[in-house]
Every structure is written in C-alpha cells, then in structure tokens.
A and B are shown apart, each in its own frame.
Chain A
C-alpha cells in the first residue's frame, strides 16, 4: 500500500501545551473534584506543604482518576479527533498515514497521561524530535495537526 504522509501544517508545542492545560482544567471539574473531594486533604498553601494521605482509598482514587483521564482523551479523539482543549486550540489528532483512527491507537497515544512522570519522559522525546511527536504518538502512528475548523 502506498504510504500517504499527511501534509498538514505542523503545530507548535505551545498550542499543544495550552490544549493540555485546558483539558486538565476540564478534567479537574469533571473527574478530579467529584472523585476525590472526599479524599482531598489540605490543599491550601504551597504545593510543597500539602498534607498527604497514603491510604488504600487514595491509591484507588488515583488509579481511577488516571483511568478516567485516559478514557477522556482516548474516547474523544476516537469519536471526533479532538479533546476539548484541542478544539479550543484548533488541533486535531490524525493517523500518520491518513487512515481513520482506531481505539487502540487512541488509547496507546494517551496512556502516558495516566502518570505525569511518564508523560514528561514521553514529552522530552517529542521535544528532542524535529516533528515534536511524543514517543507514544510514534508508537501509535498518530500525529497532531491543525484542524480545519473548530468550535
């Protein structure tokens, strides 16, 4: 099969970062607050002085929150190619060869969002690469491009 490389305009890391921040804000209201409010401990003051609770419940909350986060990105990108943040920033996820995205690709490219640390390593890979594709984007054969239209 002839390989079709997408010619869409490259997107800057800044636009992607803003999109990610918007998504995090959305997730804070939709997932993190309702799931973790009863487990939340001291959140005032600096982030370095946050009281921590290391119980089983908190660990389960963390795992569920991570699962729901991946679900948010994976399902939205599979259905409409965009998360809320990407819509706002006019970005779209596409298959690198121009084929329609499948769920496996969408889960794989977003799996690193379950852990900030792994995401950072994944992101570092993308920053070092010319086309800014994260390692898991390369693995999933996907790419983020400028969307034709956004609302």
Chain B
C-alpha cells in the first residue's frame, strides 16, 4: 500500500512538473508571438505613414520620357548594343507613369527621325489614351513617326531650328535584278498566288504590283494625315497641304501649326505645371531598367564608336573623301 502511495505521489509530481513545463513553453510561445505581432504592426504602421508622407511631400512629379533614335517595334540589338526606341517598352513606361499617383504630367523628350508605322502609331495611341497632360519637346529632330507621336500630345515645343514635320510614308528596298542579269545570275521561284512575291529584290516590280503597293502606302499616308489633323485640331485638307513628306524647321512648323511654341525642357516643364494645375513639379526620368548586359552594352557602344571614329580618321587621312574624279570637259 505504501509502495502504491509512493508511486501515485511520484506520478502526480511528474504530471504537475510536465504541466508547469508545458505552460512555461506555451507562455514563451505566446510571448514570442506577441513580440512578433507588435514588431510587425509597428513596422507596417511606420511604413504606411512614411509612404503617405513621402507621396504628399515629395510627391508631385513630371515624368520625362525620352524617345531617342529610330522608332521600332522591338529593340534593334547588335551584339550587346541596343539603339533606338522600342515602342513596346515606351508604351510600358507610359503606362507606368500614368499609373503612378504622384506623376501629374508627362514630358516626351523627342529626338527621333521617325520609324516604322505600327510602332509609331502604337506610341501615339498610348499617348492619346493617357489621362494626364503630356507635353512634347522636339530637340534636334522629330519627324515622320516621331512627329506622329508628338502630335498626340497636348502641347508641342521645338527649337526654331529643330527639324519636324515630314508627314509622309516611304517604303523601299534594294532591287538588284539588273545586277543579276548583268552577271548571268537567275532567280527561280515557285509561288501560289499571283502577288505572293511582290517586292522580292530579285525581280523588278510590274506596273500592277507597283500600283497595289503604292495604294497601301497611300492608305497609311492618309491615316497619318488624319491622325495628325485630329490630334492637332486641324482640318484634314489643311494638314494635307503640308504632308508631302517635307520636313520643316521649327520656325516654319510654328507658322503652319505643326508645333505650338518655341522652347525646350524648361518651357515644357512650366507648361506641364500649368496643364496639371500644380505649382511645382519635380522632374523625374522614366526609363526602362537596364539588363544584365547594360554594362557590356555601354562598353560595346563606346568601343564601336571608337572603332568607327578610327576608321573615319583613317579615311580622312588618306583623303578618300576627295577621291571623286571629275572628268575634264
């Protein structure tokens, strides 16, 4: 009986200790949980408040998006070097600027001779869809597709000597059928459909093919004029008068209504503030992030420039630029 009591006592003592240990562990876990919860709540509150304060205090901005070089549908990548304006990336950046709450206006800094039809139209359409004021600044050049984009903005600035306009479409290719004939090289082709190979470089275009291709160019041209007329609030026929593909200097462009005023970034920023009804906007560059090859891109671009300059120098030193022989009369 005594042994039984001793066992019972031992068991009770063991269970009590176990219960104390469990409670201790439970309270440690609860304590940890509480600490984590407090730290997370404090951090969330601080982040939320600071985020709001920064948005309102440092917030109001004008996003500057640069269009430099020919406009294409994709990046023109040569080795690691990419040049020109990738319309898809620009549309993405425009969307980002449009969605950023603290961006009140957008400035398009244009220095481009234009580009492919769809890519230019794609950017112009994206600009038109923006619900924020957009101001264009044409620097050295903003012609053809680049002007199409500029025309979609609310206000266009250019220098008196900038090149702009060039509302026209051209399509062409190198045709060397005569060269092939001369050297007795033939081109054999099999086709299904009369016009399937229209525009192949090994054969001259027939009159019928020329007409068909020209009609397509005309449709694009008309669409370009229509779009510019709509964007600029002008009559179709008025724009058509200046749409023979000729480029205009800033002074001429202002006179015929292709641009609004002379100026650069400073004037554009002021106009953006005026259109956005904000006293002061901070300029911020919006651009696509460089990839892992950006450094190589930069190096290759610089080295290519170096190689190009070297070739140029050697050509100049050998007076090749003066080597055209003018026959004596």
Interface residues of A (CB under 8 A from B): 26, 30-42, 44-45, 47-58, 60-61, 64-65, 68, 71-72, 75-76, 79-80, 82, 84, 87, 149, 151
Contact = CB atoms under 8 A, between A and B. Distances in A.
A36 B54 CA distance: 9
Contacts of A54: 284-285
Interface stretch (B34-42, B145-153, B200-208): B34-42
Nearest to B46: A68
B289 A60 contact: no
Contacts of A76: 35-36, 39
Contact of B43 (A36, A47, A56, A72): A72
Given A41-B286, A53-B284, A80 B100 contact: no
Contacts of B52: 38
Contacts of A31: 43-44, 47
B2 interface: no
Contact of B47 (A26, A30, A48): A30
Contact of A42 (B44, B50, B95): B95
Contacts of A37: 51
A36 B59 CA distance: 12
A80 B29 CA distance: 10
Task: Point out which of A42, A60, A61 has the most chain B C-beta atoms below 10 A from its C-beta.
Answer: A42
Given A30-B40, A38-B55, A38-B102, A50 B284 contact: no
A120 to B, nearest CB: 14
Given A31-B44, A51-B287, A55-B284, A38 B92 contact: no
Interface in B272-307: 282, 284-292
27 contacts: A26-B40, A30-B44, A31-B47, A33-B47, A34-B44, A35-B48, A38-B102, A39-B100, A40-B100, A41-B100, A48-B291, A49-B288, A51-B96, A51-B288, A52-B286, A52-B289, A54-B284, A57-B59, A58-B284, A60-B58, A64-B50, A64-B54, A68-B46, A76-B36, A87-B36, A149-B28, A149-B29
A57 B102 contact: yes
- Helix, strand, loop or mixed for chain A's interface? helix
A61 to B, nearest CB: 6
A72 B93 CA distance: 33
Contacts of B286: 41, 51-53
Interface residues of B, number: 44
Given A34-B48, A149-B25, A151-B29, A42 B54 contact: no
Contacts of B282: 55-57
A49 B92 contact: yes
B32 interface: yes
Contacts of B102: 38-39, 57
Interface of B: 25, 28-29, 31-33, 35-36, 39-40, 43-44, 46-48, 50-52, 54-55, 58-59, 61, 63, 89, 92-93, 95-97, 99-102, 282, 284-292
Nearest to B89: A49
A71 B43 contact: yes
B39 A39 contact: no
B92 A42 contact: yes
A92 B28 CA distance: 14
Contact of A36 (B51, B61, B89): B51
A80 B36 contact: yes
Contacts of B63: 53
Contact of A39 (B29, B31, B48, B55): B55
A71 B44 CA distance: 12
Contact of B92 (A30, A45, A55, A58): A45
Nearest to A40: B100
Contacts of A87: 32, 36
B21 to A, nearest CB: 11
List 10 tightest A-B contacts by C-beta distance, closest first: A42-B96, A57-B58, A35-B47, A51-B96, A48-B291, A55-B284, A41-B96, A34-B48, A38-B55, A35-B51
A36 B95 CA distance: 17
A61 B39 contact: no
A41 B63 CA distance: 11
A26 to B, nearest CB: 7
B70 to A, nearest CB: 20
